[in-house]
């Protein structure tokens, strides 16, 4: 009997995997408390191992085209579109996925199920896709949230985004969309998708920055801390939520080591600001770290630029929940044009921001 297209694509993805290994269905391992994990991150500025990075990345900055490029990428798929999304309310994207399914393409979607109060609702999107015959599942309950925002297209590229697929994100927010065509990264992203779609755990040791913490030998928080610790001349940070102790201390350590630091976050009074974030920002301010808030566009970014040589873009906010307990995905690239692109945007946002 001839194997189905889905079966062929799954087997091809798994055979290409170099560093992500799915395991049998089993409960997630016991996790230490956020405080224990954060306290383990006391900063020591040092070199250490080379930062895992990818060169085959192009980064788009939003707001710029109202999400048209992302929609075009989806609509142009010839074989498959695999989506993992925290929040999917954009009707154009939903309709594009349904059209691809109707055209016989392999369309599969993982949606986050539970949200914090007033944080969103994927049930209308889930029902619309399900009723149209699209293969859609709720994200595994092992994670606090599936906050990942990624689209694997034709097994050839993965869009790793700070941005949800909503009606307003590409219009109103500062967002970054990294299109990664590195074959190993795409295979790893596909393997993570397959594992989450099937409700299986997975371990990875590739170049992507993956949460939760037990997914990789060196977890997302430690990878980002290593990135910050490696800064020798400049460090630019733009992020919606910042409260994790290890990263906060690493930013302060960079400033105290005479690294030129700029931090951009949400404007004062943003509804998402938690007491933990207020404490972290107060700590940065007390240490003299240059820090501003920006209200327009709304800062939904999660980005770090080091020494104008490396840039991180991903779904991870710099919080204990995001780094240790959520499903998240990010990438570090050394592509010079993309590094400078993000650096210049952060510099402009910093200039237009208000001191916190």
**Of all residues in the chain, what percent carry a pLDDT higher than 70?**
87
What confidence tens digit (pLDDT) does each residue in 72-130 have?
999 999 999 999 999 999 999 999 999 999 999 999 999 999 999 888 999 999 999 99
What confidence tens digit (pLDDT) does each residue in 275-320 have?
999 999 999 999 999 999 999 999 999 999 999 999 999 999 999 9
Structure tokens at 323: 């780094």
How far apart CA 278 and CA 265 sit, in angstroms, is: 11
Give the pLDDT band of residue 19 (cuts 50, 70, 90).
confident
Give the pLDDT band of residue 16 (cuts 50, 70, 90).
very low
3-state secondary structure at position 322: helix
Residues 47, 148, 303, 73, CA torsion sign: positive
What's the pLDDT at 272?
73
pLDDT value at 5 more than 90: no
Give the pLDDT band of residue 269 (cuts 50, 70, 90).
confident
Q: pTM (2 decimals)? A: 0.91
Give the pLDDT band of residue 273 (cuts 50, 70, 90).
confident
What confidence tens digit (pLDDT) does each residue in 164-204 have?
999 999 999 999 999 999 999 999 999 999 999 999 999 99
Q: Where are the beta strands (DSSP E) in 99-193?
A: 106-111, 135-138, 149-153, 157-161, 173-180
């Amino acid at each position: 009997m001839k194997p189905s297209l889905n079966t062929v694509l799954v087997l091809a993805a798994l055979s290409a995997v170099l560093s992500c290994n799915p395991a049998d269905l089993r409960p997630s391992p016991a996790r230490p408390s956020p405080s224990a994990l954060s306290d383990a991150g006391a900063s020591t500025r040092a070199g250490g191992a080379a930062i895992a990075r990818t060169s085959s990345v192009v980064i788009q900055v939003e707001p710029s085209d109202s999400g048209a490029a992302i929609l075009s990428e989806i609509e142009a798929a010839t074989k498959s579109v695999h989506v993992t999304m925290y929040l999917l309310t954009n009707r154009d994207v939903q309709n594009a996925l349904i059209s691809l399914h109707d055209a016989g393409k392999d369309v599969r979607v993982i949606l986050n199920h539970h949200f914090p109060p007033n944080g969103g609702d994927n049930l209308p999107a889930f029902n619309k896709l399900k009723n149209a015959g699209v293969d859609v599942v709720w994200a595994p309950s092992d994670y606090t949230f599936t906050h990942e925002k990624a689209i694997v297209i034709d097994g050839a590229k993965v869009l790793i985004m700070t941005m949800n697929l909503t009606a307003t994100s590409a219009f109103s927010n500062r967002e970054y969309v990294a299109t990664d065509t590195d074959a190993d990264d795409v295979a790893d992203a596909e393997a993570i998708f397959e594992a989450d779609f099937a409700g299986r755990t997975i371990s990875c040791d590739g170049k992507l920055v993956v949460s939760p913490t037990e997914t990789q030998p060196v977890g997302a928080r430690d990878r980002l801390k290593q990135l910050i610790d490696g800064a020798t001349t400049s460090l630019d940070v733009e992020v919606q939520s910042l409260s994790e102790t290890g990263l906060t201390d690493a930013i302060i350590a960079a400033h105290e080591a005479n690294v030129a630091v700029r931090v951009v976050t949400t404007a004062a009074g943003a509804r998402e600001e938690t007491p933990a974030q207020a404490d972290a920002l107060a700590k940065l301010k007390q240490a003299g770290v240059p820090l501003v808030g920006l209200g327009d566009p709304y800062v939904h970014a999660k980005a770090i630029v080091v020494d104008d040589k490396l840039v991180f873009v991903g779904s991870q906010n710099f919080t204990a929940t995001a780094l240790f307990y959520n499903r998240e995905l990010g990438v570090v690239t050394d592509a010079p044009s993309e590094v400078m692109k993000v650096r210049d945007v952060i510099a402009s946002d910093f200039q237009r921001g208000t001191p916190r």
